[in-house]
């Protein structure tokens, strides 16, 4: 099976977790497969809250309503991919640059269902460089603080240019290599304290409740 077929399989399995009137929807290639599956059952719910402009556009393209989070009191379930996930359900996210809105939508959702191909399950997180969204004026100051934590931050660039990538929120992203994340909850709290950080792509204090992991033998369900 290809990685895309594994992603498609978990996206299909995630439909069983759809509940409530409003669905929280993540960002990335796995989330895109999920959106395509969600479109098939769009008469079963009222609308969605999207974690990025790209996700909102794909949902609207399927004729699915996208609501402003300010108009939503409660989300029963948030479904999203991950760049890495560990045995406790802590994740690295943000490869697709949507970490801040993903964290916000996840924080108001009762259940977080992570959908990922099997390659994302790791023992110790940090091989995937940790994305940190920062205010542009603070990016060098934050980078120096991240170096003190043992990381090697690198400014994410717009593909094919040497200009800084700009997120949906007007932020920049530092991708931090070289961190062996043995205590994800503590590191998340520590990075959140750095002035100029908008959000860190460590989802540990609020990790996944369920992970649907695509493997060649079928979809494995991990619960936390
Ligand atoms: O956090 C994310 C976007 O900000 C994605 O969930 C993460 O990058 C995984 O992406 P993909 O499903 O394409 O492997």
What is the fold, at CATH topology level, of the domain defined by 130-200?
Alpha-Beta Plaits (3.30.70)
CA 53 – ligand 1 centroid, Å: 14
* Known binding-site positions: 27-30, 80-83, 93-96, 120
CA angle (155, 158, 159) in 5-degree steps: 115
The CB-side HSE value for 60 (13 A sphere, CA atoms) comes to 9
| Low pLDDT (below 50) residues in the chain | none
Residue nearest to atom 7 of ligand 1 (CA): 82
Cα distance between residue 8 and residue 147, in whole Å:
38
Is the confidence metric ipTM above 0.95 for this complex?
yes
Atom of ligand 1 nearest to the CA of 97: 4
Cα distance between residue 82 and residue 201, in whole Å:
10
Per-residue confidence (pLDDT) for residue 104, from 0 to 100: 98
Pairing of strands 109-117, 210-215: parallel
Query: Strand locations in 62-206, DSSP E?
Result: 75-80, 84-85, 91-92, 109-117, 130-134, 152-155, 172-177, 197-200, 202-203
- Give 117-154 pLDDT, tens digit per residue: 999 999 999 999 999 999 999 999 999 999 999 999 99
Per-residue confidence (pLDDT) for residue 190, from 0 to 100: 97
Can you give the residue ranges of every domain in the chain?
3-119+205-223, 130-200
pTM for the model: 0.96
Atom of ligand 1 nearest to the CA of 116: 12
CA 115 – ligand 1 centroid, Å: 10
Per-residue confidence (pLDDT) for residue 180, from 0 to 100: 82
The verdict on whether 102 is a catalytic residue reads: yes
Tell me the average pLDDT of the chain. 97
Is the CATH number 3.40.50.2300 carried by domain 3-119+205-223?
A: no
Pairing of strands 152-155, 172-177: antiparallel
């Amino acid at each position: 099976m290809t990685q895309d077929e594994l992603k498609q399989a978990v996206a299909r399995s995630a439909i069983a977790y759809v509940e409530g009137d409003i669905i929280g929807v993540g960002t990335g290639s796995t989330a895109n497969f999920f959106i395509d599956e969600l479109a098939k059952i769009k008469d079963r719910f009222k609308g969605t809250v999207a974690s990025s402009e790209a996700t909102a556009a794909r949902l609207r393209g399927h004729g699915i309503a996208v609501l402003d989070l300010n108009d939503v009191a409660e989300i029963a379930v948030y479904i999203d991919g991950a760049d890495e996930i560990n045995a406790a359900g802590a994740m690295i996210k943000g490869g697709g640059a949507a970490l801040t809105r993903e964290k916000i939508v996840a924080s108001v959702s009762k259940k977080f269902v992570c959908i990922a191909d099997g390659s994302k399950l790791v023992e110790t997180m940090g091989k995937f460089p940790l994305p940190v969204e920062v205010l542009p004026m603070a990016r060098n100051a934050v980078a120096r603080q991240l170096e003190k934590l043992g990381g090697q931050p690198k400014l994410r660039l717009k593909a094919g240019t040497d200009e800084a990538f700009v997120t949906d929120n007007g932020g920049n992203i530092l991708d931090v290599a070289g961190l062996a994340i043995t205590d994800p909850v503590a590191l998340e709290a520590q990075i959140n304290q750095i002035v100029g950080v908008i959000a860190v792509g460590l989802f540990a204090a609020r990790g996944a409740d369920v992970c649907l992991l695509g493997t060649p033998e079928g979809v494995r369900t991990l619960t936390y």
